[in-house]
Amino acid sequence: MGNDDHRRRKTPCGFCMAVFKWIPVLFITAVIAWSYYAYVVELCIRNSQNGIAMIFMLLFYHLFLTLFMWSYWRTIMTSVGRIPDQWRIPDEEVSRLFRADSPETQKRILNNFARDLPVTNRTMNGSVRFCEKCKIIKPDRAHHCSVCSCCVLKMDHHCPWVNNCVNFYNYKYFVLFLGYALVYCLYVAFTSLHDFVEFWKGQLNASGMGRFHILFLFFIAIMFAISLVSLFGYHIYLVLVNRTTLESFRAPIFRVGGPDKNGYNLGRYANFCEVFGDDWQYWFLPVFSSRGDGYSYPTSSDQSRVSTTSPVQRYDAMGDTATSRLDGNPTDKLIGASPLDTTNHHHNQSPHQVRSTSVQPTQLLQVQPSSPYQDELNGRQEQLANGSTAAARSSPAECVVNGAAVYIDMTIGDHPLKGADPAKGSPRPANGDLPV
28 phi-psi bin (left φ>0, alpha ψ -120 to 50, beta other): alpha
Which spans in 114-254 are helix H? 171-201, 209-241, 245-249
Q: CB under 8 Å to 400, separation ≥6 — which residues? A: 406
Closest by Cα among 333, 326, 402 to 364:
402
Q: Please write down the HEC assignment for all residues of 2-43.
A: CCHHHCCCCCHHHHHHHHHCCHHHHHHHHHHHHHHHHHHHHH
CA quadruple 144, 150, 155, 156: dihedral positive or negative?
negative
Kindly state the helix (H) or strand (E) to which residue 411 belongs, with its residue range. none
Q: Strand 253-254 relative to strand 258-259: parallel, antiparallel, unpaired?
A: antiparallel
Strand partners, 259: 253
DSSP state of 159: E
Query: Residue 287 CB: number of other CB atoms within 10 A?
Result: 14
CA distance readout (Å), 361 to 30, 205, 227, 385: 90, 106, 79, 17
Closest by Cα among 225, 286, 219 to 34:
219
Q: Which amino acid does the sequence have at 145?
A: C
Residues 183 and 64: beta-carbon distance below 8 Å: yes
DSSP state of 415: S
415 phi-psi bin (left φ>0, alpha ψ -120 to 50, beta other): beta
Q: Which amino acid does the sequence have at 71?
A: S
For helices 268-276 and 171-201, give the axis angle rounded to 10 degrees: 90
Catalytic pick among 145, 159, 165, 273: 159
Clarify whether 273 is annotated catalytic.
Answer: no
Catalytic residues, which ones? 159
